[in-house]
Amino acid sequence: MKRVQGFTLLEVLVALAIFALVAASVLTATARSLQTASRLEEKTLAMWIADNRLTELQLSQSPVADGREQGEVEFAGRRWQWQSEVQGTSEPDMRRVTLWVAPMPAERAAGEVRERAVVSLNGFLGVMQ
């Protein structure tokens, strides 16, 4: 009588367990990769907003006063908040600008922009005389 060769139930269960472990690790790595890509996209968009705002201040026809200012902007289909702080420097004809950009929170009372900011940008403005 010829004996039929095949996998035992135990061998099939071990193979399934190994496959499940590999699949779980692949899914975890994929989820982490998607989170990283999303975070990079958010940081890139926020940096563009900060750079655009700094350029607006640099191209302003009127002198920029020292102090804080904030606003909202829609960019890439999302709402963002920005805050800027202009300070004097040791050079009388230069002003230092710090900009913070954060995504618009779901709740209005979610804290200050600089606390939630995904990027901050420093730049300088020349004072025209």
Average pLDDT of 44-67? 94
In whole angstroms, what is the distance from residue 101 CA to residue 80 CA?
7
pLDDT tens string 74-116: 999 999 999 999 999 999 889 999 999 999 988 766 678 999 9
Q: For position 5, what pLDDT does the model report?
A: 78
* pLDDT above 70 as % of the chain: 94
Q: For position 1, what pLDDT does the model report?
A: 63
21 falls within a domain: yes
Lowest mean pLDDT among 3-7, 97-101, 122-126: 3-7
3 falls within a domain: no
In whole angstroms, what is the distance from residue 27 CA to residue 20 CA?
10
46 falls within a domain: yes
The candidate with the shortest Cα–Cα distance to 70, out of 80, 82, 79, 58, is 82
33 falls within a domain: yes
29 falls within a domain: yes
Q: Three-state SS across 46-105?
A: HHHHHHHHHHHHHHCCCCCCCEEEEEEEEECCEEEEEEEEEEECCCCCEEEEEEEEEECC
CATH number for the domain including 62?
Answer: 3.30.1300.30
Q: pLDDT band for 49, please (50, 70, 90 cuts).
A: very high
Q: Tell me the β-bridge partners of 72.
A: 81
Domain count, the chain: 1
67 falls within a domain: yes
First to last CA, the chain: 106
94 falls within a domain: yes
61 falls within a domain: yes
Give the domain range for residue 65.
9-126
